[in-house]
Amino acid sequence: MVFLVILTSIVCLTVTFVLWMRKRFSYWKEMGAPYEEPSFLYGNLKGVGKQDHDGQLIEKFYRKHKGRGPFVGIFFFLVPVVVPIDLELVKNILIRDFNYFHDRGLFYNEKDDPLSGHLFTLPGLRWRRIRNKLSPAFTSGKMKTIFPLIVKIARRLELKLNEISTSESQVDIKDIMARFTVDVIGTCAYGLEANSLEDGQNEFFHVGMSVFENPRHGTGFTFLLLAFREYARKLGFKTFRDEVIKFYSSTIRKVVDYRLANNIERGDFMDILIRLHVGGNEEPLTFNELLAQAFVFHSAGFETSSSTLQFCFYELACNPVIQEQTRSHINEVLGEHGGELTYEAVADMKYLDQVIAETLRLYPPAGNHIREVTQDYKVPGTDFILKKGTSVMIPIYAIQRDAEYFPNSTSFNPDNFTEENIKSRPFAAYLPFGEGPHMCIGARFAMMQVKVGLVTGLRNYKYTLSERTGRPLKLQSKFFLTNVDGGIWLNIERLK
C-alpha cells in the first residue's frame, strides 16, 4: 500500500512537472511570435559550451528566422529570451527606447564576489552613477596624455618580436599580444610595471589570462546563472575563481594604500578611482566598487584587445596582399610624421582603421550583447508586448556576418569600411562595441592600443600561417568572449 502511494505521488509529480514545462515552453507560441522549438530542460541552449560558441549558436536561429518577424523567441533553459532580427528594433533597443532596456540583466554577486559588481553588470541608477563618474577617464584628451606610455611598452614589444624572428621564427600571436596589452593596461591603469613581455612566468599575466582560459563556470552554467540570477545570488554563487578574487583584491588594495600613504598621483585610471573613493563626492565609491571597476578595466581591456590583435594578424597572414597594403600605408603615414609613432600619426592611419573594423566585424569581442526589458514594451508595428524582466540577446556576430549588409560576408575585406560603404549600410549593422548609452566606455582606449600594436608588429615584420594553426578556425565554446581553440601560430620574418 505504501509503495502504491509513493508510486502514485511520483507519477503525479512527474505529470505536473511535464505539464508545467509544456506551459513554460508555450510562451512564444501563445504570443503568436516566431520562435525556435526548445529542447527539454535546456531550452535552446543544447550544445552551448560544448560544441558552439554562443555567437555561432544564436546565428543559427537568426538565419533560420530572418524575415519572419522583427524578432525570434528562444529559451535559456525555461526562461524566454528575445533575439531581435530587424535592425530598426535593434536600434530602438540600444538608443531610441533605451529607457525600456537600460539594464543588461547579467549575473553579479557583490557580497560574495566583489569583482563581479562592475560597470558591465550593475543595473539602473548604480550603473549610471558609476558610468558618469568614470567617463572623464576616457576622453580623447586623456588618451593623448597616456599615448606615450603605450609607445614605451610598444618598444618592448618590438624587441620581443625581433628576438622571436631571429630565434624561434614562430609565435603564438595571442600570447605575445596579450603580454603587450597586459603591460599597457598595467602601466596605464595601475601604474605597475607588469613586465609580461620580459617575464614568461609573470603572475600578473597568468592570473589575468586564467580569468578567460580557466573560468570558474563554463558557458552553459553561466547562462544558467543569468537565467536564474536572483536565486543564484541568494545561494552565494560567484562569477570568478577564489584565487582570482584574492589576487586582484590584494593587488589593488596595495596600489591604493601605497598611493594614499605617499601622496602619489600619476594621472592614470587608478588616480581617478582613488579620487572618487576618498574625495569629497556626495556619494564616494566604496572600496569594492573601486576594486570591481579596476578589475574589469584590466581583465576585459587586455583580453578583448589582444583577441582583436590576434585575429587581425591572422587575417593579414591569410591575405598577404592586404598585409602588404597595410604595411605600406603605415610606413607612408609614419614618413609624413617624421618617422615617429605619435598620437597624430596613428589618428591619420585611415586604412588601418578599416583593417581593424573589418577584424571586429568578423570577430566581435562578444558574439551577443544582452539587455533586459525594464518595463513592458510594445514592439513597434506589431501587437507583441515584451514583458518586464524578459532578456534580450542582440546577435552581434550574426548581424555582422549577414550577407545582406556585407557581401561575401565571411571574407576579410577592409573595403567594407570605406566612407561610401559605411554610408550605404543600416546604422545597426556594425556594433562590436555596442551603441547608445551602454556603448563600451573603453572603446577609444582599446582602439588606440590595438593600432599601436599593429603598427609595431607590421612595419618591420612579415607574417605567414604556421602549420600549427588549424583552418578553419574553431572558436572556443567555453566562454562568451571570442577566442580560438589551439591558438593562432604564425611564422614571423623580419624585413629589415
Tell me the binding residues: 440
End-to-end CA distance of the chain: 90
Are 278 and 153 contacting, i.e. CB atoms less than 8 angstroms apart? no
Write out the binding residues for heme. Answer: 440
| Cα 137 to Cα 158: distance, rounded to the nearest angstrom | 28
Backbone torsion region of residue 339, taken as left when φ is above 0, otherwise alpha when ψ lies between -120 and 50, otherwise beta: left
Q: What residues contact 319, with CB distance under 8 A and at least 6 apart? A: 412
* CA-based nearest residue to 334, from 151, 491, 180: 151
Q: What residues contact 306, with CB distance under 8 A and at least 6 apart? A: 174, 177, 178, 180, 181, 182
Grid cell 576618498 — which residue?
Answer: 278
Are 187 and 153 contacting, i.e. CB atoms less than 8 angstroms apart? yes
Alpha helices in 279-436 (DSSP H): 287-318, 320-336, 343-347, 350-362, 396-400, 419-424
Q: What residues contact 257, with CB distance under 8 A and at least 6 apart? A: none
